[in-house]
Copies of this chain bind each other. A is one copy, B any other.
Amino acid sequence: MISEKMKAFVEGSSVIRAMFEEGKRLASIYGADKVYDFSLGNPNVPAPKEVNEAIKAIVDEEESTYIHGYMSNSGYEDVREAVANSLNKRFGTNFNATNIVMTVGAAGGLNVILKSLLNPGDEVIAFAPYFGEYRSYVGNYDGKLVEVSADTEHFQLNLEEFEQKITDKTKAVIVNNPNNPSGVVYSEETIIKLAEIMDKKQKELGTEIFLISDEPYRELVYDGAVVPWLTKYYNNTIVGYSYSKSLSLPGDRIGYLVIPDEVVDSEQLKSAANVATRILGYVNAPSLMQRVIARCLDVEVNVEPYNKNRELLYGSLKEYGFECIKPQGAFYLFVKSPVADEKEFVAAAKKHNILVVPGSSFSCPGYVRIAYCVSYATIENSLHGFKELAKEFGLI
């Protein structure tokens, strides 16, 4: 009796989420310390102490009907102002409260902006490998996701193919920097070229093409990598952010959209985002967490635990003969499967209680994603299994 659209979704339901459920099942059989669940980007690093301190201070100091009440659908004015100021300080931009829409995480933000922009049949371009949920989000508004195949050499953007795939139906382009699942940071050089192509195509086709930058991993970078701030390179840029990864708050569902004044018809788009927040049933981003964010904008993000994990896992896998690009951001390794059908490798790994996600979930078959946002001990204890796998597949 469920809708036709949902039937397909339920059948092909998220492999990542299925893995997460499988991990819980295996843990109940073998014990949590004997299951190496690398399936989900669920940060193992606790939220910084400032978050819980802010929560307690807010419920003690602020008025209940304010903390827990309705506000404008786009969020508390003072929180939006604080977010704008924080961005201005970091990126030399000139945003104010009206440029910010507080959202139910980055997923909520992407849905709000896609609902605001897409007419049925509009095309949205994404670069493989990409977070599989983009396909659902675009499909929610009857848009069509157009895929640019992966640059499996450097995992930057395949810009030649990109240019060919822009049509008069292209309404938006999604980039995810640092990238899930590859962990790669798109360089300034890549972004400049991307912007040039989009500017050129806008003129050529007489259309407006929106660049949607999905940046939940912005602060999770290593080796001094710099993530370009995209509104500086291309006018029709909208940024989506989430505190899920930087402050380890994925369950709390808090993030924001930036809609700069430079975006075409920006006033109308801001209104649409406000209304979309309401009618999609979010109504507003969770109020208490909005107030928490206002107090935690300067909290330093601790990437060291992830960096330690990255070094150990990357070093070990390379030693065992696996092929993998060294990620500069996020908390994922995207490892080449030693066998063409990576699902075979995923199944073999599961026999060692190692859960990883097939690359086909990110439109990049032949690879697997390993989310290393787990405890250091989990990585240490999993290494034996990875070594066995390397032997099984003839890498050592």
Chain B residues with CB under 8 Å of A20's CB are: 70, 72
Q: Which residue of B is nearest A45, CB measured?
A: B65
Chain B residues with CB under 8 Å of A117's CB are: 1-3
Chain B residues with CB under 8 Å of A385's CB are: none
Chain B residues with CB under 8 Å of A73's CB are: 17
Q: A248 to B59, Cβ gap below 8 A?
A: no
Separation of A345 and B171 alpha carbons in the complex (Å): 44
Interface 9-mer from A7-15, A161-169, A181-189 = A7-15
- List residues of A (349-366) whose CB comes within 8 Å of B's CBs: none
Most chain B beta-carbon neighbours within 10 Å: one of A140, A281, A282:
A281
Q: Which residue of B is nearest A41, CB measured?
A: B70
A69 interface residue per 8 A CB criterion = yes
Q: Determine how close the nearest CB of chain B comes to the CB of A24; give it in whole angstroms.
A: 8
Q: Which residue of B is nearest A133, CB measured?
A: B279
Q: Which residue of B is nearest A286, CB measured?
A: B286
A110 interface residue per 8 A CB criterion = yes
Chain B residues with CB under 8 Å of A137's CB are: 279, 281
Q: Determine how close the nearest CB of chain B comes to the CB of A138; give it in whole angstroms.
A: 11
Q: A68 to B250, Cβ gap below 8 A?
A: yes
Chain B residues with CB under 8 Å of A294's CB are: none
A288 interface residue per 8 A CB criterion = yes
Q: Determine how close the nearest CB of chain B comes to the CB of A232; give it in whole angstroms.
A: 21
Q: Which residue of B is nearest A236, CB measured?
A: B1
Which residue in B65, B115, B210, B251 is a CB contact (below 8 Å) of A248? B65
Which residue in B60, B70, B111, B281 is a CB contact (below 8 Å) of A251? B70
Q: A140 to B70, Cβ gap below 8 A?
A: no
Which residue in B6, B52, B116, B286 is a CB contact (below 8 Å) of A2? B116
A249 interface residue per 8 A CB criterion = yes
Chain B residues with CB under 8 Å of A65's CB are: 42-47, 248
Separation of A237 and B135 alpha carbons in the complex (Å): 31
Q: Which residues of A contact B (CB under 8 A)?
A: 1-6, 9-10, 13-14, 17, 20-21, 40, 42-47, 51-52, 55-56, 59-60, 63-65, 67-73, 104-105, 107-112, 115-119, 133, 136-137, 139-141, 208, 210, 248-253, 264-265, 268-269, 271-272, 275-276, 278-284, 286-290
19 of the cross-chain contacts (CB-CB < 8 Å) are: A1-B210, A1-B265, A4-B119, A9-B279, A20-B72, A42-B65, A43-B69, A46-B63, A52-B60, A68-B249, A70-B250, A70-B251, A105-B283, A110-B281, A250-B283, A253-B287, A286-B286, A286-B289, A288-B288
User: Given contacts A21-B72, A47-B64, A251-B290, could you give 7 more A-B pairs where the C-beta distance is less than 8 Å?
Assistant: A3-B115, A3-B141, A45-B65, A47-B68, A67-B251, A253-B282, A286-B289
Q: Which 8 A-B pairs have the closest CB atoms?
A: A251-B287, A46-B64, A111-B281, A136-B279, A107-B281, A52-B59, A2-B272, A42-B70
